[in-house]
Amino acid sequence: MKKQIFVLLAILGLGIGRPAIADEGMWPLFLISQLQDSMQARGLKLTAEDIYAINKASMKDAVVRLMSKQNRMFCTGEIVSQQGLFLTNHHCGYGAIQELSSNEDNILQKGFWAKNQGEERPANFNIGLLAKVDDVTSMIVDSLPKGDDEAARSKAVNAAIKAATAKLKDALGDDKDMFVIEIVPFWAGNRFLAMYYQVFQDIRLVGTPPENIGKFGGETDNWMWPRHTCDISVFRIYADGTSNKPAKYSKENKPYTPKHYFPVNIQGPKDSSYAMILGYPGRTQRYTYSAGIKYYSDNERPKRVKVRRDILDIYEEYMHKDPKIKLMYADKYAGLSNYWKKFMGEADALNKLNIYERRKAEEEKFSAWVKANNKTQYAGVIGMYNDAYAKVSEIGLYSVYMQDGISNSQPMMIAMGLTQLEAQLKDKSKKEDAMKAAAEMAKDLDADFKEYYEPIEKKVLASVLMHLVEDLDNKRLPAVLISMADKYKRDYTAMAEAMWAKSVLVSKDKLAAFLKAPSLKTLQKDPIYQISSAYMNEVSAKMQPEMMALNAQLGKANRLFQAGMMEINQGKLFNPDANGTMRMTYGRVLPYNGKDATFYKEFTTSRGVVEKYTPGDIEFDAPVRLIDMMKKRDFGAYADKDGELHVCFLTDNDITGGNSGSPVINGNGELIGTAFDGNWEAIASDFAFEPQFQRTICVDVRYTLFIMDKFGGAGHLLNEMKIIR
């Protein structure tokens, strides 16, 4: 029953399709052969085929795609040994580390390093290795209906993708259950590619630094430079012991032998030296139409910030008081807070960088070209965009509040998972189905209430109710919600208290008793269920036709606009928006000027850790032994030639969410660091690339090895690696 129920307004913001400059771009692997000369001019000593090859091992085989047990991508990692050892960020492994922690053995807080493979602990996620990429555009496009009915086209695309995926999967024969195939649109649906991922399910935690090293600086330093965080965790891939193929967890499994792994270079990156990143950026909106920029900057982003901040304040109130509650809510807090700060920065930056004005000017040039060249096929594009975003402004926030509001209230999330049970209970012929469904839901109760503290959840419920009623047009809200809010005179604390007292969804015991003998009357009278299910119905059912028509209109505008811009700029290489597929970005190790009279060096050292260290502080505490080692300059082989322990460094690579944990690679194909964040001045990079500001924050691999070896006592892991000194 523990589900992520999101009703998403899929606005594929794809505005001006201008050709990207060489350093801009999260490039699909099938395009990088065309970038080889430019990359080599910057310092790459290898060929494009060394990065991505179809018929031989290449770097792409050492890049892992972190995926949930439902195979949803969330981060990146890099294999660093012949025994399947891989690095990713501490914040990427955070949920798994939390699940492996207990109040008696809190490895999230104190850290953990397995002394041998027998001590490694099963982690609750999968990883995918990209096996191949096929262009399947003809399989999708050739079956589409002719004409202008975009809704029919969209429906046909989905059906064609489903059929093509099944066909490709069947062609894998006996190995098909080991693969996930994703057919993904590029350039707003002008091209379709099939990504084949070999999925490994037996992943084990090898090591993690203490939280006050892996998360040093907390939210204060998040998205900021200078940075001093060792955002690292270490895992291992296990495979069937005889075939080296994916297998479910078993003590008989053996470490996976990869096709390629990254050598580790501890000579250190230098100013202006070549830097390349391979990884899985999630989503960018680099080509969002000007009216979309206004929607995000003035409306959508500020609303998300407000809702998330109020919930985070509730978490902090209790987490700061009790270490048990801090552990319980650690993963929830981390997930909410990261994008709270990102959304806040985006709202500000979208205005400061004048992105709306720049997009508007480019769109006017496009319109002039259409008119001057009598390009009638593109004549209605701008009108489609304007009409669509006018409607987005009316209804877009309702799905946003499901994602950032209702979905962050555990009782309301549970309620939305019970709608099918209600339908079964209504139909007397399906009583047996209802009982079976209830029994299945009961099996998930431990998971539903594992990260659950009633005083927190009751306040979160009140906060969510307040935002729904006060922030949204009440005419589109369920009558039961408005009626109840009026009954309690908009006192949302009192309203939540009353709902809590009458609900069976607020405790494990009450819900277990209900599921043992599910009653339609009990469910329909439950106030939390009434409001949650009614809101879900309003968004997913009543608004769905509007959303589908709106998405179809935007999809057509996006596709035509992109095609038009490609026609204007024939012969230019176009960089498609990130879409969760593997991408390559190349650039340099570089400092930058953040603002007037402020120059930021391209690296930080352990001096900054000592300077920021504040004993007992929730963000800037650190292990005393680490601080002592740094004060004594006990850096061993990991010191730079300047005698300092370099901690983090900057590159001008182009990345976004999903790239967390990506390998940072030098011109020889060797690992020099791990990407983990962006900088505040370029926080709106999902919408616009700003080369003078754009920086990626990376953990220096020497700091990673220092923490593993000298601090963590896990030097045996380095024996697996090929270290370039």
The residues annotated with a catalytic role in the active site are 91, 231, 660
Residues 217 and 212: their CA atoms lie apart, in Å, by: 8
Question: Which DSSP string corresponds to 413-438?
Answer: HHHHTTHHHHHHHHSGGGHHHHHHHH
Element (H, E) at 291: helix 290-295
263, 669 in Cβ contact below 8 A?
Answer: yes
299, 700 in Cβ contact below 8 A?
Answer: no
**Which of 177, 166, 332 minimizes the C-alpha distance to 248?**
177
Residues 370 and 351: their CA atoms lie apart, in Å, by: 28
First to last CA, the chain: 51
Neighbours of 371 (CB within 10 A): 11
Residues 414 and 219: their CA atoms lie apart, in Å, by: 29
Residues 84 and 238: their CA atoms lie apart, in Å, by: 7
**DSSP-based three-state secondary structure for 542:** helix
**Which of 235, 215, 338, 230 minimizes the C-alpha distance to 673?**
230
Residue 87 zone, left/alpha/beta (φ > 0; ψ -120 to 50; rest): beta
Residues 546 and 530: their CA atoms lie apart, in Å, by: 24
SS3 content of the chain, % helix, strand, coil (to 5): 50, 15, 35
Give the residue ranges of DSSP H helices in 579-690: 606-612, 624-631
Residues 646 and 217: their CA atoms lie apart, in Å, by: 17
Compute the radius of gyration of the chain from its Cα atoms. 26
Joined together, the tokens standing for residue 507 give 């405790």
Residues 272 and 270: their CA atoms lie apart, in Å, by: 6
List b or e across 701-720, with b for residues whose CB sees 16 or more CB atoms inside 10 angstroms: bbbbbbbbbbbbebeebbeb
Residues 337 and 344: their CA atoms lie apart, in Å, by: 11
Give the Cα-Cα-Cα angle 610, 615, 618 (nearest 5 degrees).
105
190, 562 in Cβ contact below 8 A?
Answer: yes
Question: Which DSSP string corresponds to 325-360?
Answer: HHHHTHHHHHHHHHHHHHHHHHHHHHHHTTHHHHHH
**Which of 526, 466, 332 minimizes the C-alpha distance to 410?**
332
Neighbours of 690 (CB within 10 A): 16
Question: Which DSSP string corresponds to 295-323?
Answer: HIIIIIHHHHHHHHHHHHHHHHHHHTT-H
Angle between helices 355-372 and 381-404 (to 10 degrees): 150
Residues 350 and 371: their CA atoms lie apart, in Å, by: 30
591, 182 in Cβ contact below 8 A?
Answer: no
**Cβ-count burial of 588 within 10 angstroms (0-12 exposed, 13-18 middle, 19+ buried)?**
buried
136, 186 in Cβ contact below 8 A?
Answer: no
